[in-house]
Structures are given as structure tokens and as C-alpha cells.
Amino acid sequence: MIEPSVRVRFAPSPTGYLHVGSARTALFNWLYARHTGGEFVLRVEDTDEDRNRPELLEVLFELMNWLGLDWDGDPVFQSNNRDRHRDVVASLLGQGRAYLCDADNERIDGSDLLDGHAVRFEVGNDATVTFDDLVRGSMSFETGALEDFVIWRSNGSATFILANAVDDADMAITHAIRGEDLLSSAPKATLVMNAMGMAPPTYAHLPLLVNESRKKLSKRRDDVSIGDFRDRGYLPEAMVNYLALLGWGPPDETEIRPVEEIVALFDLTDVNSAPAFFDVEKLDHFNEHYLRALSPGEFVRAAEPFVTGSNTPWAKADYDPTVLETLAPEVADRVST
Ligand code: GLU
């Protein structure tokens, strides 16, 4: 039997910033694709009209490029698949696997998709959904414990579960590598795909990122924005190397190593399910290492945005890159960012 080649996707919503957790997800997908010689696709989950602004996407693309996470082919926009999502919902209704709801959320008769009505998928109460998660092992969910979940909103749009499941199947995604917060949606997506006669991808749910108090990283409390790290003087090589270790560890335990070596060693079966501590001090240590490894010329180029800005104690005209180049080894030895 010929194994289908790996095809993975990073599926962000366009939020205008890149959370370290999303960057870790993107990186693990990219590493797996590059390790296996497969494809890494970018799918923008842009079905939420309110948040769908092109300038937000530019930020995302720019940060992906900064990290060196190149994707294959053009990005896929989920909003282009609306008709297909609608067809799947209509067909699930027609097959009696889903039902219409009125404005009071009460079940109503009918098998045609009607405007202004939501649709719920009927999970039934005597089945078990099982799958082997490459990180978390064998998973099992009783349908009796799941509610009949909404797949179509009364405003005429597909919900996340429906759109995500249908697109994974249609795009022949072989592995869905993503954050653990999405684990509970996997059995629902699996039910939808099975009802459609489509095959779910192999799941790999990556461990949660936590802060020093072992709490889930929070946008308000913790530093979580990749763009902010870039703007504060972290090198992309340091960031990528550090992010790769959030849940994964190389068999030889050598932590600081070039990304080509990480690609060669990376495997999903070596990803740990325990929460991973996002340790900024450790990231600083990685950054110091990478700063010191720069040649004087590279150091000057990397420092340029920080030494020619408006916040420097010298006038822009007094900045002389050749002087900084002479000093580079001394400076690099003394700074973390
Ligand atoms: N769009 C989802 C998110 O922003 C990711 C979905 C997935 O990877 O399956 O969290």
C-alpha cells in the first residue's frame, strides 16, 4: 500500500497578531511537513465577517515570513467555501442526520435548509467516537455526553466545527496538528465527517502553553505576541529554536541547534502531552546565544532598526555602522536583545 503523502495545514483566524501558541502550532505543522517532504498549507479561517480585515492578514503573513515558515501554494480562504458548507448542511438535513431549530432553539420538522433557521447535528446517545491522537494517545468520547451541536447559524453561516471539518476533508488534510483547546471539537468533527462518508485527519493536539504560575498564557497578563518579541529585539532563529522545544524535545537533548537539524529530527510521536512552560528567561538565553553567533556585519544589520530609530541618544546623522561593526563582538557579549 502506498501511504498518502503528508498534507498539513495551519488554520488561523485573522486576528492581526500572532500569539506564541499559534506560532508554535504553525511551526510544528511546518516542521512535520518539511521533515516528511509533505505539504504545508495555510488556511485562513475567515468566516467571521466582523474580524475579516485584509490588513490583519498582512500582519500574519509578515510574521510567518519573519519566522521563516514558508507555506506551499496560495493561502486558502475558508470564506470561499461557503456554498460547499451550505451543501453539506443541506445534505445532512436531507439524510436526517441533522435537524432545524426555530428562534427558541426548539427542534422543528423539515428537511430543507430554511433561511433564518439554525441547524443542529444529531449526535445520538449510544455511540462512541474513538481516534488515536498522535500526542495524547487513544481517545474515546461517548456521544451521550455530547450535545447536539450547532452546525449552521440562523444568519446563514456555517459554524467553526462544520467549516473546519468539511475543509479538512475536502483538502485531503492528513494530519490536523493544533492546540489542545480544540480537542473537544475533534469528536464532533469526526461525527460530521463520518456522516458525510469522508475521512477525518489524524489528530495531534499539542500541549497547552503555561506561564511560571502554571496558568494558561493570557494575552492580558503575559507576553504572548510574536510581533512584540520581534520589536523588542529577539532574533527569528532564537524564537523558532525556542518555540520548537515547547512540547517537543530532540532524542539527544541538545536544545540549541539550527532549524535544519530540528527539521531532520522532528517527529510528532516525540511530542509530549504535558503543559509546556513558556519561559521568557530561557528565550533570552537562546537569544543571547544567537546574537553572539552573528558575524559583526550580521549583528549590525540586525541591530539597525534599534539603533537608527527615534529613541536613540544620538542623532540619526551621527550613527555610523562601521563604528558599530568594530564594536559588535563587545556589544553582542553584553546584550540579551
Ligand atoms: N481556526 C482555529 C483557531 O484559530 C484553528 C483550527 C484548527 O487548527 O483546526 O484556533
- Asked if residue 196 lies in contact with residue 97, where contact means CB atoms within 8 angstroms, the answer is no
Q: What is the DSSP letter of 214?
A: S
- Residue 104, C-beta contacts closer than 8 angstroms, at least 6 positions apart: none
Determine the residue of 40, 79, 135, 164 to mutate for testing ligand 1's pocket, defined as the one with the most ligand atoms within 8 A of the Cβ atom.
164
Q: Which atom of ligand 1 is nearest to the CA of 13?
A: 4
Quote the cell numbers at residue 300.
Answer: 549590525
Residue 196 neighbours by CB distance under 10 Å: 17
Q: What pLDDT sits at residue 324?
A: 95
Q: What residue's CA is closest to ligand 1, atom 6?
A: 11
Pairing of strands 98-101, 118-121: antiparallel
Q: How far apart are CA 82 and CA 122, in angstroms?
A: 22
Q: How far apart are CA 198 and CA 207, in angstroms?
A: 27
For ligand 1, which residues put their CB under 6 angstroms from it? 11-13, 45, 164, 176, 178, 182
Q: How far apart are CA 314 and CA 306, in angstroms?
A: 12
Task: Report how far ligand 1's centroid is from the alpha carbon of 96 (Å).
Answer: 28
Task: Report how far ligand 1's centroid is from the alpha carbon of 137 (Å).
Answer: 21
Task: Report how far ligand 1's centroid is from the alpha carbon of 179 (Å).
Answer: 8
> What is the per-residue burial (b if ≥16 Cβ within 10 Å, else e) of 291-308?
beebebeebbebbeeeee
Q: What residue's CA is closest to ligand 1, atom 10?
A: 12
Q: What is the separation of C-alpha 84 from the centre of its chain, rounded to a whole number of angstroms? A: 24
Q: Which atom of ligand 1 is nearest to the CA of 9?
A: 8
Q: How far apart are CA 71 and CA 56, in angstroms?
A: 18
Q: What pLDDT sits at residue 316?
A: 86
Task: Report how far ligand 1's centroid is from the alpha carbon of 161 (Å).
Answer: 10
* Residue closest to 275 by CA, chosen among 212, 187, 226, 229: 212
Q: What pLDDT sits at residue 54?
A: 78
Q: How far apart are CA 324 and CA 104, in angstroms?
A: 69
DSSP-assigned letters across all residues of 66-77: HHT---SSSPEE
Q: What pLDDT sits at residue 14?
A: 85
What's the length of the chain? 337
- Asked if residue 97 lies in contact with residue 195, where contact means CB atoms within 8 angstroms, the answer is yes
SS3 155: coil
Per-residue pLDDT of the chain (337 residues; tens, 9 = 90+): 556 699 999 999 888 889 999 999 999 999 999 999 999 999 999 887 766 677 888 999 999 999 999 999 999 999 999 999 999 999 999 999 999 999 999 999 999 999 999 999 999 988 999 999 999 999 999 999 999 999 999 999 999 999 999 999 999 999 999 999 999 999 999 999 999 999 999 999 999 999 999 999 988 899 999 999 999 999 999 999 999 999 999 989 999 999 999 999 999 999 999 999 999 999 999 999 999 999 999 999 999 999 998 888 998 889 999 999 999 999 999 999 9
Determine the residue of 13, 57, 170, 208 to mutate for testing ligand 1's pocket, defined as the one with the most ligand atoms within 8 A of the Cβ atom.
13
Q: Where do the DSSP E strands lie in 154-288?
A: 175-179, 202-206, 209-210, 276-277
Q: What pLDDT sits at residue 300?
A: 97
Q: What pLDDT sits at residue 182?
A: 97
Determine the residue of 171, 178, 181 to mutate for testing ligand 1's pocket, defined as the one with the most ligand atoms within 8 A of the Cβ atom.
178
Task: Report how far ligand 1's centroid is from the alpha carbon of 11 (Å).
Answer: 5
Task: Report how far ligand 1's centroid is from the alpha carbon of 271 (Å).
Answer: 19
Q: What pLDDT sits at residue 48?
A: 76
Determine the residue of 45, 193, 203 to mutate for testing ligand 1's pocket, defined as the one with the most ligand atoms within 8 A of the Cβ atom.
45
Phi, psi for residue 16 in degrees, rounded to 5: 85, 0
- Asked if residue 154 lies in contact with residue 117, where contact means CB atoms within 8 angstroms, the answer is yes
